[in-house]
Amino acid sequence: NKKVLVLTGGGDCPGLNAVIRSIAKRAKKEGNWEVWGSIGAFNGILKEPQELVKLTSKKVAGIHVKGGTILKTTSKGDPLKFPIEKEDGSWEIIDRSEELIKKIEEMGFEAVISIGGDGSQRISQKLYEKGLNVVGVPKTIDNDLSATDLTFGFSTAVQVASDSFDKLVTTAESHHRVMIMEVMGRDAGWIALHTALAGGAEVCLIPEIPYDIEKVVKRLNKRYDKGKGFANIVVAEGAKPISGEVTERLSGEIGYENTRLGGIAYQLSAQLKKAGLKADIRETVLGHTQRGGTPVAFDRILATLFGVKAFEMVLNLEYGRMAAYIDNEITSVPLLDAIVEYNYIKKESFLVQAAKGIGISFGD
């Protein structure tokens, strides 16, 4: 039998299990393939003994509806920057990529399917350049990967955020309050803007459009003056004002940068008060609820199609490439295309203009 190895790297994301299941099911149809998963991404291979699991039909049955990943994941899965704790308690970062590639070959794997975000795709590209047969599958709730129109996990995150937003509207209205809801998205505002559109926010603050706090206050006061005594703001964790304090990244773990921003809701609340907003303000930070739980149907479907495509890329020896969703088709692109640039919202896009057209303020 031929063997392929599957792993999930970076943050978890609704739809990961659906990818794993569809790879296993598509491979079974070939009749002469075994699918194995590495527990804890590339680190699972570097461990002694290795942490591998055979992805049989029984193992993957019904998992497509489950959040998280049965293969676990780690944000510390970079074999090129592997932290080793020394006897004196200090840390040394070493490159274990050659050792990793050798181990994968010795175990008889034809290829690796690496499901991950931009960090994971970057690692895959480097390993590919060093000789590993690797295929990528894009994953992120942030939708910040270029070279694919959408990633699975994003629709679920928007759904979770929209459900919470709807709940905040009724309590804002009852108390004449301004509610600030902070959503994830790293350095992009995709989750925030989609949630603002779905829920009908008055203000949406995103990293791509630095906000002027005076303009935000003006927009809110105008609404209060009209007698609509409440308002709802969606703020992306990476949003920043045109001047003044900015959100700092939370401190990194040893050897790795922690990508989480977080806490902007509270900063914004203080800025609004300082700028003269009279209304009572409350803050909600949704955090990891946006990444947990059952994927919505669209994400299950996209993830399933990506899994089938990824396995067929292995069959066709299409290495160094990533499955992608472009113009309503599932296709593949060079891994390099996915990592050369970050997928930001463009200010002049119809998305932003339409939001402005229905009265959503970006504070610009």
Which is nearer to ligand F6P, 75 or 304 (by Cβ)?
75
Tell me: is residue 11 an annotated ligand-binding position.
yes
Residues of span 284-303 touching ligand F6P by CB under 6 A = 291
Q: Rounded to whole angstroms, how far apart are CA atoms 65 and 295?
A: 6
Q: Rounded to whole angstroms, how far apart are CA atoms 69 and 80?
A: 23
Within the chain, residue ranges assigned H as helices are 16-30, 43-46, 57-60, 97-106, 118-129, 154-175, 190-199, 213-225, 264-274, 297-315, 335-339, 350-357
Interface region with ligand F6P, contact rule CB under 6 A, candidates 42-50, 163-171, 196-204, 258-266: 258-266
**Residue 141 Cβ vs ligand F6P, minimum distance, rounded to whole Å:** 5
Tell me: is residue 166 an annotated ligand-binding position.
no
Binding of ligand F6P at residue 11 (CB under 6 A)? yes
Binding of ligand F6P at residue 260 (CB under 6 A)? yes
Selected binder of ligand F6P within 142, 202, 208, 283 (CB under 6 A): 142
Residue 142 falls in the annotated catalytic set: yes
Q: Are 119 and 133 in contact (CB under 8 A)?
A: no
Question: How is residue 322 written in tokens?
Answer: 């990533």
Q: Which residue among the candidates 12, 78, 142, 144 is catalytic per the annotation?
A: 142
Residues of span 121-140 touching ligand F6P by CB under 6 A = 140
Tell me what percent of the chain is helix, strand and coil, each rounded to the nearest 5. 40, 20, 40
Binding of ligand F6P at residue 78 (CB under 6 A)? no
Q: What is the DSSP letter of 286?
A: -
| 99 to 118: interface string for ligand F6P, x by CB under 6 A | ------------------x-
Say which residue the tokens 């937003």 belong to.
165
Q: Does the N-terminal peptide bond of residue 49 adopt cis geometry, omega within 30 degrees of 0?
A: yes
Binding of ligand F6P at residue 361 (CB under 6 A)? no
- Catalytic machinery residues: 142
Residues that bind ligand F6P (CB under 6 A): 11, 75, 117, 140-142, 184-186, 237, 258-261, 291
